A and B are shown apart, each in its own frame.
Chain A
Amino acid sequence: AQKVTQAQTEISVVEKEDVTLDCVYETRDTTYYLFWYKQPPSGELVFLIRRNSFDEQNEISGRYSWNFQKSTSSFNFTITASQVVDSAVYFCALSGRNTDKLIFGTGTRLQVFP
C-alpha cells in the first residue's frame, strides 16, 4: 500500500528563518512520483514540484529546494529566508506509475510571522 506521512502538523517561524517541511513515503513500486502542493489562505491548491523516483538530484527554485532521498524514503521541502507570503498549508503526495490517484499526506501548516 502507498502512504505519505507529514508528521509536522504546524510550524511557526519568524521571517527570514529557514524552514524544512518533512515528507516520508511508503510504496512498493519501483517507479513512482512525488509531489508538493501549496494551499495559501485563499484556499486554492497550487502545484509546486513533481519528481520521479529515478531522479534523486536535489531541485532548487529560488528560495525553494527539495531533497529527495530514496534511502530514507523522504522528499523534504526547504524554504530559505522565509517570507510572510510563504504562510500556507503544504501537501506532499505520491503516485505510482500505474496507480489511479494521488495519495496525499495530511499537510503541514506553515505560519511565517513578520
Chain B
Amino acid sequence: DADVTQTPRNRITKTGKRIMLECSQTKGHDRMYWYRQDPGLGLRLIYYSFDVKDINKGEISDGYSVSRQAQAKFSLSLESAIPNQTALYFCATSDAAFHGYTFGSGTRLTVV
C-alpha cells in the first residue's frame, strides 16, 4: 500500500456540486497538507493541519474546506465547485516541513 493514498484519482463534476477529496496516510505523521497544482503556477497550499484540532489556512483557501477526521485522514471539500477549481490536487504528509513531504499520487479534478 502507498504511504499516502488519495481518492478518487480522477473526477469530473458539474458546477455547483459539492465534492470531497480524501487522503489517508500510513506514515504516522502529524502534519498533513493539501495543495493544488495549476500549469505555470506550481504548487499552492490550500490548507494544512498539525493535528485533529489544528487546522490552518494556506494561501488559497477560499472556496475550500477541510476536515481532519483522525491523525491519518485529511479530507478536502469543495462546497460548490466552480470551473476555475479544475486542477491537480495533492495531499502530503510530514513529521516536520524541513524533512520534506511524502505526497499522494494526486487527484485530477475537472469542473464542467
Contacts and interface: CB of A to CB of B under 8 A. Distances in A.
A106 interface: yes
A96 B98 contact: yes
A101 B33 contact: yes
B88 A43 contact: yes
B74 interface: no
B12 interface: no
Interface stretch (B13-21, B61-69, B101-109): B101-109
B42 A102 contact: no
* Overall SS of chain B's interface: strand
Contacts of B108: 43
Interface residues of B, number: 22
A24 to B, nearest CB: 14
Interface of B: 33, 40-43, 45, 48, 50, 56, 58, 88, 90, 97-103, 105-106, 108
A106 B106 contact: no
A100 B56 contact: yes
A95 B103 contact: no
A52 B99 CA distance: 10
Interface of A: 9, 32-33, 35, 37, 43-45, 47, 50, 52, 91, 93, 95-97, 99-102, 104-107
Contacts of A100: 48, 50, 56, 97
Given A45-B90, A95-B100, A104-B42, 7 more contacts: A32-B98, A44-B106, A45-B101, A47-B100, A100-B48, A102-B101, A106-B42
Contacts of B106: 43-45
